[in-house]
Amino acid sequence: MKSEYELSLNDYIAIIKDRALLLGLSFAVILGVSVAVAVAIPPVYQSAGTILVESQQISPDLIAANNSTFADERIEVIRQRVMTREHLMRIIEKYNLFASKGRPLKDSDRIDQMRNAIAVSTVSTSVKGRGEVTIAFRVSFDHKEPEVANEVANELVTLFLDENIRQRTERASETTEFLTQEANKLRVELEALENQLADFKQAHANALPEHQELRMNMLSRAELELKEVDRDYKSAQEELRYLELERSAASAGLLVQPGTAAAAEKPQDLGSLKAEYARLLARYKEAHPDVRAVKRKIDALEASEGGGRAVVPVSLDVARVQARMAAAQVRINSLAEQKRELLKKMDAYEAEILETPQVERGLVTLMRDHDNARKKYEEIRTKEMSAKISESLEQENKAERFVLLEPPQMPEQPVKPNRKKIVALGFVLAPAGAGVLVMFLEMLNQRIRGVEALASVLGKRVLVAIPYITTQADLARRRKWRTLLIVTGVLLITLMLVLLHVFYMPLDLLIIKAMARFE
C-alpha cells in the first residue's frame, strides 16, 4: 500500500547539497539586485524650516485679539492658500522644477509632484488646562538637488509668513469694516427712534406719565382755588344784596318830614360840590365811585338851575352805596369768569389724566425699542473699538504671530533612499528567495530520494540498496564546486565589507570600536 512520504532531515541536506550552486547564485543575485537598487536610486535631499507660533505680546487681559482661532486650524488654512495652483506654478517656473528630459510633463502632473514634495508637520506640547497645544510647525521640501531644495524651502517659509500676516490683517480689517457698517446702520435706526420718541412726547406733552403727579397736584390746586373763588363769589353776592338794601334805606332817608334833623340840613350848593369834587379828584381818579357820585350831583344841580325846576338832591351816601354796588358787581363778574376758567382747567387736567395710560402704553413701546436699539448700538460700538485695536495689533505685529525659529539649511545628507535598510533587506530577502526558489523547483521535481521514498512509492519493501559509487570525475567535480563555493564566499565577504565601509562605517573605525568593546 502506498503512503505519503515525508522528507527527512537527510533528504533536506541532500537537497541543499544538490542545489548548492542554485542557492549560492540566487543569494548572490538577490543581494546584488538589492545593492544595485540601493545604489541606483537617486538621492533626495530635504531642506526644512521651523516656524514658531508666538503668542500675543500684550497681555490678553488688557487687549483681546479677535483672531482667536486655533493654531492648527490657522496653519491648515494658510497651507491651503500657499498650496494653490498659482503659487506652486510660480515656484515651479522660477526654479524649473520637475523638468522632464523626455516627454514634457503636464502642469497638473508637475503641481501634483510639487505638492507631494512639500510637507508641513506641527510640533505640539501638553499645556495644563488646555491639552495638546501647537507651538510650532515645520515646512520642508524634497528635491534631488540640495541647492534647489534649500531655495524652494526658503521660498515656502516666506510664503507662509507673508500669508499669515496678510490673512490676519485682512481678517481684522474685514471685521472692523463690517462692525463699522453695522454701527452706522444701528446709529441711523437709533436716530429715527429718537425722532419718533421726541415727536410723540411733543404731541402728547400734556399727558406724559412723568407729569402725572404734577397734573394731579395742579388739579387739586385748581379744586382748592375753585372752592375759594366760589366762596368769594357767594360772599360778593351776599354783599351785593346787602348793598341793595342799604341803597334802598339811604334812598328812603332823603324824603324826611319837616322839623326833623334831616330837614334842617340844607342842600349843598354848587360851589361846595365843586370844591368837594376838586378835593376828591386830587386824591382819586375820575373813575373812582366817590368822584363819579360828586360829578353826578354837580351835573344835576347845574341842570336844575338851568331849567328853573326844583330837583330832589341825591344823597352822597346813596351815591357811595351805588359805587360799592358797582364794584361788587364787577367783582362778581370777575369771580364768575375765574370759576369758568378754573372749570375749563379742571376739565383739561382730567382729560389729560385719563389720556395718560394710553400715552404711557405708546411711550413704553417707543422707549423699549429705543433702549434695545441703544444697547445694540453701544454693544456694536464696543466691538468696533475692540476690532480697531485688534487691527492695530495686527498691523504693528503685536498680536499672535509666526516667527521664523530656524531657517532652512543646506542639506548635507540625503533623506532618501535609506541605502542601509535596502541592503539589510537584501540580506534578508536573499536567503529567503533562494530557499523559496529551491522549494519551488523541488515541488516540480519527481525524483525519488532514498530507500524509504522508493518503498513509499512502490508500496513494497526494498531488500538490497546499492550505495552510490564515487568516481574520479565525481571527486574532481566536487573539488571544483568546493573551490567555487570558497571563492563565492570570499567575494560575498569582501562585498559585505565594502558595503559596511561605504554605507555604514569605515572599517578602521569599526575595528577600533569592536576592539574597544572587548578590552
Query: Cα(328)–Cα(334) distance, rounded to whole angstroms?
Result: 10
Per the listing, cell 423699549 goes with: 368
pLDDT given at position 102: 59
Number of domains the chain contains: 3
Same domain, 77 and 154: yes
DSSP for residue 2: -
CATH number at residue 145: 3.30.70.1130
pLDDT given at position 139: 93
From first to last of its 519 residues, what are the pLDDT tens digits of the chain? 344 556 666 666 777 777 777 777 788 788 778 877 777 778 889 999 998 887 655 544 444 444 445 678 888 888 888 889 998 999 988 888 887 665 677 888 888 989 999 999 888 877 666 667 788 899 999 988 889 999 999 999 999 988 887 877 777 777 888 888 888 888 898 888 888 888 887 877 776 777 677 778 887 888 888 888 888 888 888 888 887 777 777 666 543 333 333 333 344 556 667 767 777 776 776 766 777 777 777 776 676 555 444 444 446 777 777 888 888 888 888 888 988 888 888 888 788 777 777 877 888 888 888 888 888 888 888 887 877 766 666 655 555 678 888 899 898 888 887 777 887 888 888 888 888 887 777 777 666 666 666 666 676 777 776 766 778 887 888 788 788 878 877 887 787 778 777 766 677 777 776 666 545
Same domain, 386 and 487: no
Extract the C-alpha cell encoding 471: 568516481
Counted residue by residue, the chain has a size of 519
Instruction: Residue 141: name the closest of 42, 49, 46 by CA.
Output: 46
DSSP code per residue over 101-168: SSSPPPHHHHHHHHHHHEEEEEEEEEETTTEEEEEEEEEEEEESSHHHHHHHHHHHHHHHHHHHHHHH
Same domain, 362 and 329: yes
Residue 204 lies in a domain: no
Cβ neighbour number for residue 182 with a 10 Å cutoff: 16
Same domain, 390 and 438: no
Residue 313 lies in a domain: yes
Phi, psi of 125, deg, nearest 5: -145, 160
- Tell me what the pLDDT averaged over the chain comes to: 76
Residue 478 lies in a domain: yes
Same domain, 168 and 234: no
Per the listing, cell 502506498 goes with: 2
Contact 140, 119 (CB under 8 A): yes
Dihedral sign, Cα of residue 505, residue 508, residue 513, residue 517: positive
Residue 350 lies in a domain: yes
Residue 411 lies in a domain: no
Phi, psi of 118, deg, nearest 5: -95, 135
Extract the C-alpha cell encoding 356: 395718560
Contacts 24+ apart (CB under 8 A), 473-482: 481/20, 481/21
Residue 197 lies in a domain: no
Residue 190 lies in a domain: no
Measured N-to-C along each axis, helices 9-18 and 419-444 cross at an angle, to the nearest 10 degrees, of: 110
Q: In what order do the strands lie in the sheet with 118-127?
A: 118-127, 131-143, 45-54, 401-406
Same domain, 125 and 21: no
Residue 196 lies in a domain: no
Query: Cα(48)–Cα(246) distance, rounded to whole angstroms?
Result: 128
Same domain, 352 and 225: yes
pLDDT given at position 308: 44
pTM: 0.50
pLDDT in tens, 283-340: 776 766 777 777 777 776 676 555 444 444 446 777 777 888 888 888 888 888 988 8
Same domain, 229 and 350: yes
Same domain, 224 and 289: yes
Same domain, 291 and 352: yes
With helix as H, strand as E and coil as C, how does 276-328 read? HHHHHHHHCCCCCHHHHHHHHHHHHHHHHHHHCCCCCCCCHHHHHHHHHHHHH
Longest dimension (CA), the chain: 216
pLDDT in tens, 410-434: 988 888 877 778 878 888 888 888 8
pLDDT given at position 304: 59
pLDDT given at position 255: 36
Cβ neighbour number for residue 230 with a 10 Å cutoff: 14
pLDDT given at position 193: 85
The H-or-E segment that residue 48 falls in is: strand 45-54
Dihedral sign, Cα of residue 38, residue 41, residue 47, residue 53: negative
Extract the C-alpha cell encoding 62: 488688557
Query: Cα(223)–Cα(345) distance, rounded to whole angstroms?
Result: 10
CA distances in angstroms from 420 to 34, 144, 428, 477, 513, listed in the order given: 10, 19, 12, 38, 19
Same domain, 28 and 52: no
Task: For residue 74, give its domain range.
Answer: 45-183+382-406
pLDDT given at position 35: 77
Same domain, 126 and 236: no
Contact 88, 115 (CB under 8 A): yes
State the virtual CA torsion across 184, 187, 193, 197 in degrees, nearest 10. -160
pLDDT given at position 424: 81
Instruction: Residue 374: name the closest of 197, 201, 187, 196 by CA.
Output: 187
Contact 472, 481 (CB under 8 A): no
The H-or-E segment that residue 81 falls in is: helix 71-82
